[in-house]
Each structure stands twice: as C-alpha cells, then as structure tokens.
Structure 1
Amino acid sequence: MNQKVVEALTAQVNKEFYSAYLYLAMNQHFEGEGMPGMANWMYQQFQEEQFHAKKMLKYLNSRGQKVILEAIEKPLIEWPSTMAVFENVLEHEESITASINAIQGIAVDEKDFATMNFLQWFIDEQIEEEENASNLIKQLELIGDNGYGLLMLDKELAQRTFAEPAAE
C-alpha cells in the first residue's frame, strides 16, 4: 500500500474515534437536559462512528498495515441549545465528508483501486449522515420554541437503533 494512503487512512481512523467521542459527549449533554430520545440518537451515532473506525482498522490490517493510534482530542461538552448541537453535528459531518473525499483523491492519485473501492462505502455513508443532520435541523427550525414539538421529536429519536451492517 502506498504510504500516503496509509497515513491518510490512519489519520481518518483517529477522526472516526473522535467522532464517536464527540457523539458520546452530545449524548451526555442530552442526558443532562432530560432529553432521553436525543441522548439515544447521539448514542446510536457513537456506536456507528466506532463501527466506522473499526472498519477502517480492519481494512488497513487486511492490507498488511499496522495502525498506530493517536490521542483523541477532547470534544465540546456543552452547547447553548438543541439547535446548536445539531448544527455542530452537521458541521462535523461535513468536515468528515471533506476528509474522506481528500483520502479518495489521494487514492486516485496513487492509483490505489482497492482503497478507492473501499472508500465508496464511506462516501455513500456521508451523504446519509449529512442528510440526517440537515433534516433534523429543518425539523428544529419548524419546531422553533414549541416545547411540545421538541418533546415529540425527542420521543421520535428515542426509536433509533444501530446494528452493524452485514459484511459486504
């Protein structure tokens, strides 16, 4: 494997673990706010991001690469509003999308077709991640200051579950 690709994927593993850590912090924020549904939604995101990191680790290992894990940056722990949390979610997912797209660019430049193929799953996943965050922001805009609406959204988000996708 090309060293540039290995370094970029290794850095992405760290970003995925940071993502998990960020979502766990958001989970704790909502637990403290008495919003168990939103806390649940963030916990499911936490699990999903861990899955993403593990998927990348497994890929690198399958290509004979040893991954050296780095320290995970401390995430934010407080937000001024529910809207601010979900705006942070969208901003974060957009940054992850940009990072994965950059890795795909490196893989293209290095003609690493296996990695290009591997990354397509993540590119598709990021479209879904951004859409989910964007839709939740739109719903929060419609809700505005309506406490009942916020409670209804919280109840809806309590239904979310995460199951690791079946092996491709």
Structure 2
Amino acid sequence: MDTKRLSSSLEEALSTQMNVELSQSHTYLSYGIWATDKGYGGIGNFLFRHSLEERNHAIKFMQYILNRGGKPTVTALGAPAPDPQSLQNCFNQVFKHEVDNTEKIYNLVNMAMEEKDWATWNFLQWFVKEQIEEETLAMDLIDKLKIAGGDRATDESLFNLDKDLGAAEDDAELARNATSENP
C-alpha cells in the first residue's frame, strides 16, 4: 500500500526548500566567520545563532516530508557568496536573503493551495509567520546600524552595537514556539 501523502511535485519542492534553508545556514555561518574575523564577535555570535536557526528550518522541512511518507533529497551546497565588504553590506545581504526566502515560501504555499494539499498548506503557515519575523529582524539590523552612524559609525557606536547583538535574545519567538495547539 502506498502511504505517501505528498505529490511528487510538492515532495521535490519541499526538498528544494530544505536545501535552500541549509544553504542559508551556510551563508550565515560564513557571514559570522567574516564578522568575527573583523573583530565583531558579538555580531558573529548573532549570525552563528541565525545559522543554526536556518539549519533547524531545514530539519523542519525534512521531518515534514518524512512524516508525509516522502523522502527528502539532500543536494550539494554551493560556496556561500563572497564576504561582505562592510557591516552595512552584510546586513543588507541578510535582508535580501530573507526577502528571497519569503518569495520561495510563498511559492510553496501557492503550490499547496493549487494542489489542495491542506496539510502542507497548514505546515507552511509556520514559515509564513517566521519569514515576517526574519524580515523584521533583518530590517532591525539595518536600522540599528543606521542609528549607530552607518558607514560613518564611530568605533564606540560599533562596539556597542556589537555588544548588544552578541547579547541579544532571539526576537522571533512567536513562530519558533508555535504548535498545532497554539499556532
């Protein structure tokens, strides 16, 4: 008896997104290494934590595919983008990555809706909420750097920004704590 509860096209698309999340994790890891190497250990730590979060998103996709009787496919990761040229460039890239990822999630939601796969549509709502939080977090990074002075920030303001981001709790609690009972 066939127990697979995903169409082949959705199984493939969800596997692709799992690999996108792994690639995002890889990118944030490389940004964290770059920031730490530049002396921004707090920002590096923040980006390392974000890398782990992206990996956890990949695991969420993997588990869902397996739970629906599918088999996720892991693909090779490409090299991350080149190192940022500045903190401003780094934070702008973080925002761009999140916006691109949001579009990918929306495409999956549309696919699930077109296929009337309501279980997958429901599963993806967690990621819709998460992407709102991810984009907001990225915009906050850009805003904090602007407040610190942007490209003309003083050493003291960058020191404080680095310290604050290193100690910051993850703000995106809503989706991270969501359950089927408490979406």
Aligned residues: CA RMSD: 1.6
Q: Pairwise mapping of residues 153-164 of structure 1 onto structure 2 (< 5 A)?
A: 153-161=161-169
SS at match of 1:79: coil
Larger Rg: 2
What stretches of structure 1 of length at least 5 have no aligned partner? none
- What stretches of structure 2 of length at least 5 have no aligned partner? 1-5
Q: Distance in 2 between matches of 1:36 and 1:108?
A: 43
TM-score, normalised via structure 2 length: 0.87
TM-score, length basis structure 1: 0.95
List structure 1 runs of 4+ shifted beyond 3 angstroms.
160-163
Aligned length: 168
| Contact 1:14–1:70 under 8 Å retained in 2 | yes
Structure with more relative contact order (C-alpha pairs < 8 Å, separation 6 or more): 1
Counterpart in the other structure of 1:5: 10
- SS of the counterpart of 1:78? coil
- Following TM superposition, by how much is the alpha carbon of 1:77 offset from its aligned partner in structure 2, in angstroms? 3.9
Query: How much does 1:141 deviate?
Result: 1.4
* Alignment pair present for 1:139 and 2:171: no
Q: Structure 2: how far apart are the matches of 1:134 and 1:80?
A: 18
Deviation track 1:72-98 (CA, whole Å, cap 9, x = no partner) reads: 111024111000000000000000000
Letter in 2 for 1:92: H
Question: What do the CA deviations read for 1:112-163 (whole angstroms, capped 9, x no partner)?
Answer: 0000000000000000000011011011112222221111110011113569
Q: Distance in 1 between matches of 2:98 and 2:117?
A: 25
Q: CA separation in 2, counterparts of 1:96 and 1:11?
A: 12
Change (3 A) 1:167 1:140: closer
> Equivalent pairs: percent with the same residue?
35
